[in-house]
Amino acid sequence: MSEHAVHPVPQWWAENALIGADEYAVKYRASIADPDDFWRGEAQRVTWMKRFNSVKNTSFDAEDFRIRWFEDGTLNLAANCLDRHLPAKANDTAILWEPDDPARPGRTLTYGELHEQVCQFANALRADGVKKGDRVTIYLPMVPEAAVAMLACARIGAVHSIVFAGFSPDALAGRISDCESDIVLTADEGLRGGKAVPLKANVDAALEKVGVRRVVMLRHTGKDVPIVEGRDVDWADYAAGQPAECEPEEMNAEDPLFILYTSGSTGKPKGVLHTTGGYAVWVSMTHEYTFDYRAGEVYWCAADIGWVTGHSYVVYGPLMNGAITLMFEGVPNYPDFSRFWQVVDKYDVATFYAAPTALRALMREGDEWVKKTSRKSLRLLGSVGEPINPEAWDWYYNVVGDARCPIVDTWWQTETGGHMITPLPGAHALKPGSASFPMFGVQPALVDPADGHILDGANEGALVILDSWPGQMRTVYGDHNRFIQTYFSQYPGKYFTGDGCRRDADGYYWITGRIDDVINVSGHRMGTAEVESALVDHDAVAEAAVVGMPHDIKGQGIYAYVTTMEDVEPTEALRKELVQWVRKEIGPIATPDVIQFAPALPKTRSGKIMRRILRKIAENDTGNLGDTSTLADPSVVEDLLANRPHVA
Ligand code: WTA
């Protein structure tokens, strides 16, 4: 690995940050030595309805498995995000909204206005029969109403399940049916980079497969869309006339807050379930410490609310902290490649938090697009969702941040609720590409993938977490056994992350990427099994195997090996058709980059596909295929090598 400079903590940060180096060390030790005491303190950031006595009641051991935090306390998260800020902040900005088209006006919602809209919508949901524990599917673009919808659910104790607005009707239908939700909140259309996304049409198509009682539709672009009488209602009509006050439901700390579907190494996406109290403490604490958040600053997380980053760091974390959170509907390259930085200047953004894939795409377009903007309001940059390569890190640091702003490279997962390993800007010298050190209360360890024993010192292995933290997921919705199997069976007694990781001699953690059959395409998690299952659903396909391949912009691309049915000719036209098919089945984010037709796939004598070999071919690392002697038919590999398509 090439040597990149280590960046010491800048003097301003060392002197002014909420958490300095000494404080990090002291607090971290305390959080591990006496978790009850530490978390009793941090839990004061929540306004509880009923104070808890029990703090941590957790065990990862199979016989005694439990994850319960603050379990006898009660609270309401929407009231924590809104009501308690009203005395001091009713007229302060909560949400700044920047539309896709910079020529259209943006919107500002104060805490008072957001409170009112949330209460009205919550009352409307209640009036419509939605009760505590009911699941509400949200399929909305990046508009303030998405936050209103989330908070309205939280207010009445309904469990939201947000489906990313880029997912297909099939993917949406699967998620509606898995959580047995009978109401969908959507919009006529979304807008991204000047293009309309037909959200209501997608909902209608999904609802041909699974029925729901109610669709509430926001008029966003004003497009004329078909309305199903009795089922569909306009957002404005739904909320009209509802009182601007709504009694928040008293929720137990362990009552469900939301479900978010995410891809794993096998089977269908699983419904990651988060609960209320621990999650509230976790997102509030991590948002404050990682971003060194100061009242009055504009904070911008560019993630979509359809992903966990949007849940924790566009909505819940910042609003818990009374922050100004910027919601951006658009994309980095529309109308041009300066868009992000123009938005930074327009709103005097202090903290900017985005995925490396966007940075790599912008880096390729040259520095001019950045340099012509000021960005002097920036004081901190963040990275999330995938490993950031040191080249992109350097560009982010030097060009975007003018070598002035620390970068927090935050490693975490849908399952973890919030930041797990990240530098704190006032505490840690930065090494480009390293997620650095554990958050308070997090005990990472590296284990030998072969036998699970813990590796000490500078080493590389599978990343596990040894003990529970408040923001941890509690179960897979409807399938607790799958939760235990997926995360706690590989290395019994430990939470397995699915990631590989290296620890250097200074104790810095370096995430090396997934070591299971999950790939990370443009910071979006994708199960190879999901893409395979979409491919074999096509009549022409007999068998498919999907692996990741290196991709300059996306981090990883999707490489699919396809065996056609006996009587089907593998043509260029079929290749194109299959690419479109996968887009339709899952969504554009699952578009295969390469499809290689293969008369057969490499299998062991027991019929198991040897993915190791397929990965090597996809990576074009063909000089070193390893042992192929266990293959049932080694000639299959020669054919794959001879017919590897040219990959740009
Ligand atoms: C990857 C996104 C390296 C990792 C918050 C993890 C990262 C998966 C980083 C979770 C990072 C996330 N450095 N890799 N800073 N952040 N990842 O559930 O492989 O969409 O397991 O959550 O993204 O993706 P998810």
412 Cα–ligand 1 center, Å? 5
Pocket test for ligand 1, best of 496, 499, 519 (most atoms within 8 A of CB): 499
* Alpha-carbon gap, residue 12 to 2, rounded angstroms: 29
Ligand 1 atom nearest 415 alpha carbon:
18
What is the 515 CA–ligand 1 centroid distance (Å)?
12
Q: How confident is the model at residue 340 (pLDDT cuts 50, 70, 90)?
A: very high
Q: Is the CB of 387 under 6 A from ligand 1?
A: yes
Residue 634's pLDDT is 86
| Residues 420-447, mean pLDDT to the nearest whole number | 98
CB–CB of 583/168 below 8 Å?
yes
Residue 499 CB less than 6 A away from ligand 1: yes
End-to-end CA distance of the chain: 24
Taking only the tens place, the pLDDT of each residue in 353-388 is 999 999 999 999 999 999 999 999 999 999 999 999
Using CA positions, which residue lies closest to atom 24 of ligand 1?
413
Provide the pLDDT for residue 3: 60
Question: What is the arithmetic mean of pLDDT over 551-580?
Answer: 96
| CATH fold group of domain 11-76+254-261+271-513 | Rossmann fold (3.40.50)
Atom of ligand 1 at shortest range from CA of 414: 18
Residue with the two structure tokens 């911008």? 300
Question: What tokens appear for 237 in the block?
Answer: 């009509």
Q: For 167-199, how does the pLDDT look when each residue is reduced to its tens digit (9 = 90+)?
A: 999 999 999 999 999 999 999 999 999 999 999
Averaged pLDDT, 446-465 = 97
How does residue 2 score in pLDDT terms, banded at 50, 70 and 90? very low
Whether 536 has a binding-site annotation, put simply, is yes
Quick one: which H or E segment has residue 487?
A: helix 480-488
For residue 337, how far is its CA from the centre of ligand 1 (angstroms)? 25
Residue with tokens 């009660």: 74
Residue 382, annotated ligand binder? no
String of b and e for 592-628 (b: at least 16 CB within 10 Å)? bbbbbbbebbbbeeeeebbbebbebbbeeeeeebeee
Question: Is 524 labelled as part of a ligand binding site?
Answer: no
Residue 413 CA to ligand 1 center (angstroms) comes to 5
Q: Which residues contact 481 (CB under 8 A, 6 or more apart)?
A: none
User: Does 387 appear as a known binding residue?
Assistant: yes
CB of residue 74 inside a 6 A radius of ligand 1: no
At 648 the pLDDT is 59
Element (H, E) at 257: strand 256-262
pLDDT tens digits for range 212-224: 999 999 999 999 9
With a 6 Å cutoff on the Cβ, whether 309 touches ligand 1 is: yes
Q: Is the CB of 411 under 6 A from ligand 1?
A: yes
Burial class (CB in 10 A: 0-12, 13-18, 19+), 387: buried
Ligand 1 neighbour 475 (Cβ under 6 A):
no
CB distance 260 to ligand 1 below 6 Å: no
Q: How far apart are the C-alpha atoms of 547 and 545, rounded to whole Å? A: 7
Assess contact for 380 and 350: CB atoms under 8 A.
Answer: yes
pLDDT, position 37: 98
What distance lies between CA 110 and its chain's CA centroid?
A: 26
CATH assignment of 522-643, among 2.40.440.10, 3.30.300.30, 3.40.50.360, 3.30.1330.40: 3.30.300.30
Q: Flag whether 646 is marked binding.
A: no
Cα of 384 to ligand 1 centre, how many Å?
7
Cα dist. 132→121, 160, 252, 274 in Å? 15, 11, 11, 15
Run of H or E including 617: helix 611-618
Distance from Cα 387 to the centre of ligand 1, integer Å: 7
- Do 83-250 and 11-76+254-261+271-513 have the same topology in CATH? yes
Phi then psi dihedrals of residue 576, to 5 deg: -60, -40
Quick one: pLDDT band at residue 538, thresholds 50, 70, 90?
Answer: very high
- Tell me: pLDDT of 44 over 80: yes
pLDDT over 70 at 1, yes or no: no
pLDDT tens, position by position, 106-154: 999 999 999 999 999 999 999 999 999 999 999 999 999 999 999 999 9
ipTM computed for the complex: 0.99
Strands (E), 481-624: 495-503, 509-514, 518-521, 524-527, 541-551, 555-564, 594-597
Cα–Cα dist 141/162, whole Å: 11
Please state the domain extents for the chain. Answer: 11-76+254-261+271-513, 83-250, 522-643
Q: Would you say 541 is a known binding-site residue?
A: yes
414 labelled ligand-binding: yes
**What Cα–Cα distance (Å) separates residue 344 from each residue in 13, 348, 356?**
21, 6, 17
The pLDDT of residue 330 is above 50: yes
Distance CA 312, CA 290 (A): 13
Nearest CA to ligand 1 atom 7: 386
Cα(511) to ligand 1 centroid in Å equals: 9
Least confident of 64-78, 491-505, 520-534: 520-534
Ligand 1 atom nearest to 307, measured from its CA: 20
Ligand 1 site, residue 157, Cβ cutoff 6 A? no
CATH code reported for the domain at 83-250: 3.40.50.980
Is 514 touching ligand 1 by the criterion CB < 6 Å? yes
Residue 497 Cα to ligand 1 middle (Å): 10
For the stretch 598-627, pLDDT in tens is: 999 999 888 889 899 999 999 998 888 888
Q: What is the model's pTM?
A: 0.96
